[in-house]
A and B are shown apart, each in its own frame.
Chain A
Amino acid sequence: MISGSFGQHGISPSGIMRATGSRTIERNLLLLAALYTLAGMLALYLGVPGAHGHQALPAGLVTVIAFFLVHLYWKKCGYKADCFLLPITAVLSSTGLVFLFRLNPAYGMRQFAWILIGLGALLLTSRLLIDFRFLGDYKYIYALGGLIALILPIFFGVEQGGAKSWLDFGLFHFQPSEFVKILVVLFLASYLVENRALLTAGTRSLGWLSIPGPQEWVPLAAMWGVSLLLLVFQRDLGTALIYFGAFLAMVYAATSRVLYVLFGLGLFIAGAAASYHLFGHVRSRVEIWLNPWPFIDTSGYQIIQSLFAIGSGGILGTGLGQGYPGFIPLAHTDLIFSAICEEMGLLGGTAVILLFMIYVYRGIKIALNTKDEFAALAASGFTALFGLQAFIIISGVTGLLPLTGVTLPYMSYGGSSLVANFILLGLLLNISHEAEAGL
């Protein structure tokens, strides 16, 4: 690892490019994030009676310190990765933490533990996987491992929220699909780089179109199709959508052939129509998305409570602890955004969306700054994964899209999602570091 003095420089007019890896900026932003977090915990402590605040304050403090420790370690090692992503993650995680403490201190404490574990994973990733290229060499092992990981819950798994995608380990539940997502991106990045030329140019022709031959696309489609089917059997429709979207995004990025995108969209529409007719639970989701009001007592209850919460928030929100997010089913996981909209209002909800937008923006920038194709594809894949997930769940709870059981990254209660997203962050930052350090 290169130990450098870049971290000591602030932003200078000639050094705008260098600002990407400035740990000083990161420190300053983290200080702001720390203030934000402590303000939130203090608001809980003062405004909400009971254990909520008493446990939240120390948890918030330790979280803030933990983020700083990661930052300091990176500074010491001369890590050149993007300096904006960690503070954004800090704000998102802290917001989630504050709201979980507000909803139920038990959730808050567990999420706090998971954040620490996640930060540990982040640290390890940034240390051990800094030379991430080797990950590209094992793609078929990933495919196999991922497949097994996705199959396990079908046979041994427990159902939660309509999706049979969890494994019960006693102390906690584990959701393999969150981690397999990362393997999928790595697999695809590596595979697409290898076969890029063939896939772009095509080795056969279909009329005036040149398409790739079976050797090229069959392994791809097989891997893709199997994972999709598994997810449908696990009834985790939201995750299936994310996998599909990320897949399409990466294929387009690699081949720039709109044909594939259109073909993929066509497949998607066909698949959607088929599943609508075949599966009752898909039909039900679409029905309550289009008009939940006739089902106000039954299947539409969740989305309607979400809409009530959002509608009650107004622009400024009801104030932390002053709203009634307790009426929202599963407010601690999938619908945490609704609780945020109720208590922090339109301003709070928009702020969260903006943070996700900046995260995506930085991710794309990282992808654009890389030296080689594998890194670029991997970075764009991770960014697409992340952005799509956030978009799908926020759209779901607001009624823009059908509601699916997908977590809001860093904010929803859930260890697997949190740790997986921290690892994703770590990999993204490693790519960024390599690009910056090589400059």
Chain B
Amino acid sequence: MKRNILKLGILMLGLFTVLVFYLSYLQVIKGPAIAANSYNRRFMEFEAQVRRGTIYDAKGVSLARTEFSGDRGRRIYPRGRETAHLVGYISDLYGRAGLESTYDHYLLGMEGPDRVRNFINKLLDREQSGGDIVLTLDAYLQGLAMDMLGSRRGAIVLLDPRSGAVRVMASSPSYDPNQLSDIWNSLVTDEASPLINRAAQGAYPPGSTFKIVTAAGALAGDPSLARKTFNCPGYIEVNGYKLPDTAVHGEVDIKKALAVSCNTTFAQLGLNLGPNGFERAVKAFGLEQDPGLGIPVRPATMAPSDKMDPAELASSAIGQGEVLVSPLHMALVAAAVANRGVIMRPYLVDTIKDSMGEVIQRTSERKWLTASTPEISGIIKEGMIEAVRYGTATAAAVPGMQVAGKTGSAQNPHGPSHAWFIGFAPADRPSLAVAVILENAGSGGAVAAPIAGRLLAAAAARGY
């Protein structure tokens, strides 16, 4: 019997030993990740003791700051609904979102030199503080963009194609994060989904703006297409399915096809590319990737290659079919053409400072993808210039500056077509790339192009 008791003892001690190892693993290795969950209210409590850093735009306008009345601090968002989707919010009840969430640790002084500094502050019972963040955003332009969107649903993205810095990322409808607790219930039940950042997470058929991707793919596969002409009888038949055009365009070269937005030409180019070639073209522009901005981005989707029959392929080539894309990605497409085929990694945060004002991180410009060659981009650019000069995008023209663009009127099952415009300016030395979409607003040329033009003009006037 004694032997059994001994074995029993060893078993029990063994169980406890396993427990010790498990606890160590849990607390040291998995612990930090678990504790970082936004449902963990320790952050909230800890925060109440810390002077949270301020978020600024590129010109020093504050977008999120803490105001104190006596001892109690409240987080204020001076630009309210204009920057809600980007800046985000922190809330005891509703968690955290946006850049306020992504850069939480820096704003709370929990990273870098601030960690030690605040630890000492805590011991000495002094105030702990976090660092400020400076964005690439321009609050004035952001406000202008939101004004132009008005009460309509849509999004606008404006960025610098040379560096990737995002100047405007507007999404409408929006909401006032200062009133979050009052309006939360109506926000989550609102069928217009105001909480969604349509600029980065929207899923829209891109319509004719997608022809740029098709063109790049076609020219990459067959450079001689640059000198060829295509015949457009006003429609194209694909396997018995008739794809109509907006007009009979007659003889067009690729540039003119872009300028007048000829469906027939690009459907044909898509068919010539085949599903694999088309997919390659889409991948080249990084449409199916999240560029890693610090806020959630929805990658583009389209029909899988086994479902990509000729009819679907032809539709996809003109930005219809099952293709769904975010406005941010389309802005990056425009940026690619603007920047001689190279897409720079987009970013929102310019510098991160510590509580003493010292810069601890500065985002440097980085190449993200080489979507196309300088030659091909040049050809497409000329097509886009022609679009603004005499084609579908004349409403985007800005006096004193040549704008290049492409319109789109994307058919969709929810009503009138989505109005799209993507483009860049000044065409000879582009410093701005833009994408505008208004849901179910009709013609891209009539509705989206003028907005883009105004925004580009305003941005240029501010020196961007």
Check B13–A357 contact: CB distance below 8 A. yes
Among candidates B12, B13, B23, B33, residue contacting A350 with C-beta atoms closer than 8 Å: B23
- Considering only residues 16-47 of chain B, those with a C-beta below 8 Å from chain A are 16-20, 22-24, 26-28, 30-35, 37, 39-42, 45
A253-B8, A384-B12, A391-B16 given as contacts; is B39 within 8 A of A313 (CB)? Answer: no
Chain A residues, Cβ within 8 Å of B4:
252-254, 256
A311-B31, A311-B34 given as contacts; is B24 within 8 A of A364 (CB)? Answer: no
How many A-B residue pairs have C-beta atoms within 8 angstroms? Tell me: 121
Query: Does A88 sit at the interface, judged by CB under 8 A?
Result: no
Query: Does B3 sit at the interface, judged by CB under 8 A?
Result: yes
Check A346–B28 contact: CB distance below 8 A. yes
A308-B40, A357-B13, A364-B6 given as contacts; is B19 within 8 A of A394 (CB)? Answer: yes
Query: Does B2 sit at the interface, judged by CB under 8 A?
Result: yes
Query: Does A140 sit at the interface, judged by CB under 8 A?
Result: no
Bound complex: CA of A254 vs CA of B3, how far in Å? Answer: 10
Residue of A nearest to B36 (CB): A311
Query: Does A268 sit at the interface, judged by CB under 8 A?
Result: no
- Considering only residues 247-289 of chain B, those with a C-beta below 8 Å from chain A are none
Check A324–B42 contact: CB distance below 8 A. yes
A311-B32, A312-B35, A398-B22 given as contacts; is B27 within 8 A of A368 (CB)? Answer: no
Q: How far is the CB of A390 from chain B (nearest CB, A)?
A: 8
Query: Does A411 sit at the interface, judged by CB under 8 A?
Result: no
Bound complex: CA of A313 vs CA of B26, how far in Å? Answer: 11
Query: Does A220 sit at the interface, judged by CB under 8 A?
Result: no
A307-B34, A324-B41 given as contacts; is B5 within 8 A of A341 (CB)? Answer: no
Check B27–A313 contact: CB distance below 8 A. yes
Among candidates B6, B24, B33, B41, residue contacting A346 with C-beta atoms closer than 8 Å: B24
Check A308–B23 contact: CB distance below 8 A. no
Bound complex: CA of A376 vs CA of B4, how far in Å? Answer: 11
Chain A residues, Cβ within 8 Å of B30:
311
Bound complex: CA of A377 vs CA of B33, how far in Å? Answer: 46
Query: Does B124 sit at the interface, judged by CB under 8 A?
Result: no
Bound complex: CA of A353 vs CA of B14, how far in Å? Answer: 12
Query: Does A249 sit at the interface, judged by CB under 8 A?
Result: yes
Query: Does B1 sit at the interface, judged by CB under 8 A?
Result: yes
Bound complex: CA of A312 vs CA of B18, how far in Å? Answer: 21
Residue of A nearest to B122 (CB): A322
Is chain A's interface secondary structure helix, strand, loop, or mixed overall?
Answer: helix
Among candidates B5, B33, B39, residue contacting A367 with C-beta atoms closer than 8 Å: B5
Residue of A nearest to B9 (CB): A364
Query: Does B15 sit at the interface, judged by CB under 8 A?
Result: yes
Among candidates A253, A256, A367, A400, residue contacting B22 with C-beta atoms closer than 8 Å: A400
Among candidates B3, B15, B27, B45, residue contacting A311 with C-beta atoms closer than 8 Å: B27
Check B8–A384 contact: CB distance below 8 A. yes
- Considering only residues 311-367 of chain B, those with a C-beta below 8 Å from chain A are none
Q: How far is the CB of B92 from chain A (nearest CB, A)?
A: 12
Check B35–A308 contact: CB distance below 8 A. yes
- Considering only residues 119-142 of chain B, those with a C-beta below 8 Å from chain A are none
Question: Beta-carbon contacts of A63-107 to B below 8 Å, as 1s and 0s?
Answer: 000000000000000000000000000000000000000000000
Query: Does A60 sit at the interface, judged by CB under 8 A?
Result: no
Check B19–A391 contact: CB distance below 8 A. yes
Check A350–B41 contact: CB distance below 8 A. no
Check A324–B45 contact: CB distance below 8 A. yes
Chain B residues, Cβ within 8 Å of A357:
13, 16-17
- Considering only residues 375-405 of chain A, those with a C-beta below 8 Å from chain B are 376-377, 380, 383-384, 387-388, 391, 394-395, 398-400
Check B42–A364 contact: CB distance below 8 A. no
Identify which of A296, A345, A387 gathers the most chain B CB atoms within 10 Å of its CB. A387
Check B19–A314 contact: CB distance below 8 A. no
- Considering only residues 357-378 of chain A, those with a C-beta below 8 Å from chain B are 357, 360-361, 364, 367-368, 373, 376-377
Among candidates A308, A350, A380, A400, residue contacting B24 with C-beta atoms closer than 8 Å: A350
Binding site for B on A (CB under 8 A): 249, 252-254, 256, 296, 304, 307-308, 310-315, 323-324, 327, 341, 345-346, 349-350, 353-354, 356-357, 360-361, 364, 367-368, 373, 376-377, 380, 383-384, 387-388, 391, 394-395, 398-400
28 cross-chain CB contacts under 8 A: A307-B26, A308-B39, A308-B40, A308-B42, A310-B27, A311-B26, A311-B40, A312-B35, A312-B42, A314-B32, A315-B27, A323-B42, A324-B42, A341-B27, A346-B23, A346-B27, A350-B20, A356-B16, A357-B17, A360-B13, A361-B13, A364-B6, A367-B5, A367-B9, A391-B12, A395-B19, A398-B26, A400-B22
Binding site for A on B (CB under 8 A): 1-6, 8-9, 12-13, 15-20, 22-24, 26-28, 30-35, 37, 39-42, 45
- In addition to A315-B28, A364-B6, 14 A-B residue pairs with Cβ atoms within 8 Å of each other are A254-B1, A256-B3, A307-B34, A308-B40, A308-B42, A311-B30, A314-B27, A345-B27, A360-B16, A364-B5, A367-B9, A387-B16, A391-B15, A391-B16
